[in-house]
Amino acid sequence: MSNRELVVLSVGGVRFVTRASTLQQFPESRLARMLNDDDQEFKLVNGEFFVDRDGTLFSYIMDFLRTLQVSLPADFSDYERLQREAEFYGLCPLADLLSQEHLLKPRLEILEVRFSLQEMQAFFRIFGSCSTTVETLAEQITVFTGQQSGQSWNSPFPSQKPLVPLPLERPSHHDMAFQCGTDYSAGDQFVARYVSIKPDNRKLINGTNVLGLLLDTLLKGGFRLVSTKTVSSEEKVECYIFERMKRRAGLTVTVNQTPGSSGVAQAKRSQMQKGK
């Protein structure tokens, strides 16, 4: 029976079809011993192994065996129950990883957008609790500068003169600053700053339009607007607070199986590396 290529399991009424080699990823597990008729907990009925356990949670067990990774939805909460199932099946590496629930749970990410409108210029500053998100957002935002005549400073379209991209101000890994609009230059010329936010291809000069595009980009990126407030009425500084649940870097953990190594030890080392 251990030589059969395909194995059918009925777990709590949910049917699973997999390869025997998948169930044998961890030879000491009960699933591997099941194929040798070495565990009475698993009943063979009409060619299918019947297991009186939770079928929904077993889908995560199967995903782990197929990928040697722990990948759980952002809203997953049954860590203790899944750990109990992993222990039942004798999958020590998976049970060990699930016991580190604090490393696997998604974390709340906060993003703050400050917006100030002063005459013909608008100023933006973005603070984020996750430096990776701020870095990603900085790669999406480009500020272009060029000169225009005073008669066309408020045109929604850039002048025909070439626009030069400017680097964003990055006071730290957790924030960025940029501005748009126009400022006086020599004679009747204005220095104009346009903002483009990918994947939108427009170059916007009006601060209110840029703010609308920025907020829309964040909402499409999974953020939720939780509050708005006026920080300074004199300076006209508005503050928009966003939040979203983000998976931790260690949520997907690879378990390397090497000859002569323990699955548990490999799982622990892999988790530690992910946390660096």
Which pLDDT value is given to residue 267? 45
The reply to whether 134 and 236 lie within a common domain is yes
Domain count, the chain: 2
Percent of the chain scored above 90 by pLDDT? 48
* Residue 81 placed within a domain: yes
* Residue 261 placed within a domain: no
163 confidence band (pLDDT: 50, 70, 90): confident
pTM of whole model > 0.85?
Answer: no
The reply to whether 101 and 115 lie within a common domain is no
Q: Which domain holds residue 39?
A: 6-106+248-252
Convert the pLDDT of each residue in 1-45 to its tens digit. 444 689 999 999 899 999 999 999 898 899 998 988 767 778 888
The reply to whether 127 and 82 lie within a common domain is no
Convert the pLDDT of each residue in 93-146 to its tens digit. 889 888 876 666 667 899 999 999 888 899 999 999 989 899 999 999 999 998
Pairing type for strands 107-118 and 141-149 reads: unpaired
The reply to whether 114 and 129 lie within a common domain is yes
Beta strand residue intervals within the chain, DSSP E: 6-11, 14-19, 43-45, 48-51, 107-118, 121-128, 141-149, 164-166, 169-172, 175-184, 189-197, 224-232, 237-246
* Residue 13 placed within a domain: yes
* DSSP class of 162: P
Neighbours of 89 (CB within 10 A): 24
Contact status, residue 210 vs residue 180, Cβ threshold 8 Å: yes
* CATH code for the domain in which residue 93 is found: 3.30.710.10
* Residue 201 placed within a domain: yes
